[in-house]
Amino acid sequence: MIEIRYHDAEGFFMHDVRPVELREAEVRMIDQRQLPEKLVYVDAKDARETAEAIRAMVVRGAPAIALAGAFGFYLEASRHISESADKLEEVLVKAHALLLASRPTAVNLSFALTRMMNTFHTLALREVRVDEIVRGLRAEALALQAEDEVACRQIGEHLLTLYEEGMGVLTHCNTGGLATSRYGTALAGFYLAKERGMALRVYADETRPYLQGSRLTAWELQQAGVDVTVICDNMAAAVMAQGLARAVVVGADRIAANGDTANKIGTMGLAILARHFGIPFYVAAPVSTIDPRTPTGAEIPIETRPEDELTVIRGARIAPVGVAAYNPAFDVTPSDLITAIITEIGIYRAPYAFSH
C-alpha cells in the first residue's frame, strides 16, 4: 500500500511521507529498515513494542523517534484506562523510562516524553477521570505531531533564504519526511525549493554504516523529483573541491547550550572539510533538538550501535568473522565549525548561547 502523494489538488508539488501514524489502538510506522526495496509498515500496540521499534531502527531520525515515543506512551495509557490514576501513574513512569532508554542521543525523545508526563500530571492534579486523562494524552501526542510539521515547514522557509538558484548542496544521513512528521529538517529546504520551482542539486552522502543517505534520502528525494546524486562518504572532499557542492546542510540529534551538535557519524568530518574549502556548514533542527541543560558537546551521550551494522550489509558479511568493530552512531561537531543553526523560529549564528 503506497501512501505517498506528491501533488496536491492544484497539481503543485507536495511532500507527504508520513513515517509514524497514530491509529486507533496502535502506532503504525514505515519500516525504514526495508527501504528502498519495500514500503512496508510495522505496528506497535504499547510502550514496550514501540521502544523495541525505535531501538531496532524501524523508525529513526530525532523528531520521528520522539513522535513514536509519545504515541507509544499514549497507547500504554490507553491500555490501562480502567485503572486508578495512581496505578496509571505507576504504569506511565515505567513506560517513560523504557521509551527514554530506547535511544540515548536524540534529545527530542526526552522532550516529547516530558510533555506527555507533564500532561498526565496536570490532568491528574485536577482529578479528572482516567478516561479523560487518556484522551488528553492522545490529544497531546497529536499536538506534538502537528507542531513538528509546522516547525519543519518553517525550517524549510528559513533554509530557502540561504540558497541560490542552481546551487549544489551536500547533505548527510536522512533528515527528510521519514525522519520527522513531514517535510523534514535539512531536507525541508529542498522540498520547498521544488515547490517554488527553484532548482537545487543535492549530493546525498550514502552515510555508512547504516546507509540512511543512499537508502532513505535518495529514495525520498528521487520520489519527489528533486535532483539528487548519491556519493560515497569519502567523495565529499572531491565534490567540494570541484565546486559541485557550495554548502553543506545536516540535521541534529542534540544541540548543546554552546552550539556543539551531535549528529550522524561523519557529520564532523564534513564540517571540517567545509571549513577547509570555505563553504558554509548549516545545521537545521527544531528548537526541541536544542538542549540548554547540556552545556557542551562533551556531555552529550553518544550511542554505540551493534558491530554487525558495520560488518554486515543486507546479510552479506564485509569483514572477517571475529574482527573488532567500533560503531558509534553519532559524532559531535564543535560549534565554531557551524556557520548557522536554522530552527523554526529563526537562524542563529555563532557565538551560540542557548538558555531555557
- The annotated binding site for substrate is made up of 60-62, 103, 212, 263-264
Cell match 543535492: residue? 202
Distance of CA 153 to the CA centre of its chain: 14
Stretch that binds ligand MRU, among 44-52, 54-62, 78-86, 132-140 (CB under 6 A): 54-62
Q: Which is nearer to ligand MRU, 18 or 80 (CB)?
A: 18
Query: Can you tell me the distance from the alpha carbon of 286 to that of 266, in angstroms, rounded to the nearest whole number?
Result: 21
- Nearest Cα neighbor of 250 from 227, 234, 226, 274 is 274
Size of the site for ligand MRU (CB under 6 A): 18
Decide: is 168 part of the binding site for ligand MRU (CB under 6 A): no
Decide: is 180 part of the binding site for ligand MRU (CB under 6 A): yes
Decide: is 258 part of the binding site for ligand MRU (CB under 6 A): no
As annotated, the active-site residues are: 253
Q: Which is nearer to ligand MRU, 17 or 77 (CB)?
A: 17
Decide: is 17 part of the binding site for ligand MRU (CB under 6 A): no
Decide: is 253 part of the binding site for ligand MRU (CB under 6 A): yes
Describe the crossing of helices 85-100 and 47-55 by its angle, rounded to 10 degrees.
10
Q: Are 204 and 213 in contact (CB under 8 A)?
A: yes
Q: From the CB of 179, what's the least distance to ligand MRU, in Å?
A: 4
Q: Which is nearer to ligand MRU, 26 or 253 (CB)?
A: 253
Q: From the CB of 152, what's the least distance to ligand MRU, in Å?
A: 8
Joined grid coordinates for residue 218: 535518495
Decide: is 263 part of the binding site for ligand MRU (CB under 6 A): yes
Decide: is 185 part of the binding site for ligand MRU (CB under 6 A): yes
Decide: is 63 part of the binding site for ligand MRU (CB under 6 A): yes
Q: From the CB of 173, what's the least distance to ligand MRU, in Å?
A: 4
Specify the pairing of strand 247-250 against strand 168-171: parallel
Q: From the CB of 91, what's the least distance to ligand MRU, in Å?
A: 27
Joined grid coordinates for residue 101: 532508554
Give the one residue of 251, 259, 266, 297 binding ligand MRU; rule: CB under 6 A: 251
Stretch that binds ligand MRU, among 38-46, 154-162, 245-253, 346-354 (CB under 6 A): 245-253
SS3 of residue 44 by DSSP? strand
DSSP annotation of 352 reads P
Binding site listing: 60-62, 103, 212, 263-264
Decide: is 179 part of the binding site for ligand MRU (CB under 6 A): yes
Stretch that binds ligand MRU, among 11-19, 35-43, 58-66, 113-121 (CB under 6 A): 58-66
Distances (CA, A) of 224 to 123, 131, 157, 193: 42, 41, 18, 12
Give rounded-to-5 percent helix, strand, coil for the chain: 40, 15, 40
Decide: is 259 part of the binding site for ligand MRU (CB under 6 A): no
Query: Can you tell me the distance from the alpha carbon of 43 to that of 28, in angstroms, rounded to the nearest whole number?
Result: 4
Q: From the CB of 315, what's the least distance to ligand MRU, in Å?
A: 20
Q: Are 281 and 290 in contact (CB under 8 A)?
A: no
Cell match 570555505: residue? 278
Decide: is 110 part of the binding site for ligand MRU (CB under 6 A): no
Q: Which is nearer to ligand MRU, 145 or 180 (CB)?
A: 180
Q: Which is nearer to ligand MRU, 136 or 184 (CB)?
A: 184
Q: Which is nearer to ligand MRU, 34 or 78 (CB)?
A: 34
Distances (CA, A) of 275 to 37, 135, 164, 268: 36, 50, 20, 11
Q: What ranges make up the beta strands (E) of the chain? A: 20-22, 27-30, 41-44, 168-171, 201-205, 227-231, 247-250, 254-256, 261-264, 281-284, 290-291, 312-313, 316-317, 330-333, 340-343, 346-349
Contact residues for ligand MRU (CB under 6 A)? 60-63, 106, 173, 175, 179-180, 184-185, 212, 251-253, 263-264, 329
